[in-house]
Amino acid sequence: MAHRRDGLAAARPTLFALAWHAPLRLAAVRAELADELLEREWQAFERACEWESVAEAELPAWFPAWFLVEHPIAGKELGELTFPDTPAASAARLLLALFALERRGDQRRLAGERERLRRLNPELFALYMTRREVRYR
């Protein structure tokens, strides 16, 4: 696997795709990888908020979106990753679009896209807005 050869960053697109397509398998893969950094990130994800709007079985699918909120630069690692038509993957794709709008300073479109994120997942939206306030004061 790319993880052993090239590190966690190289494996991230595969891990994200697994989270979206087979969220229940992510725990087994995390255990197999036994990557300390990945486990710290996972624990931070679980503690980030209550995730009340997400069924427990679907929670791993939201890890990629959370990761992008915490590490926006990681979006550059995703390359040609295909995002399935699921709420969790849509949130991750929307975050990438939001980051681009932030860089361009397109406030009108940014407000509309932020509202879309709020509707997709209120907890993720609140976390995203908290991170934006801290980073852009």
pLDDT tens-digit map of 59-108 = 999 999 999 999 999 999 887 889 999 999 999 999 999 999 999 988 99
Helices (H) and strands (E) in the chain, counts: 8, 0
Predicted pLDDT at 134: 46
The tens digit of pLDDT for each residue in 9-65 reads: 888 999 999 999 999 999 999 999 999 999 999 999 999 988 999 999 999 999 999
For the chain, give the percent of residues with pLDDT over 90.
77
Contacts of 98 (CB under 8 A, 6+ apart): 110, 113, 114, 117, 128
Predicted pLDDT at 11: 87
Distances (CA, A) of 63 to 106, 110, 120: 27, 23, 14
Q: Which residue has the tokens 């990753």?
A: 81
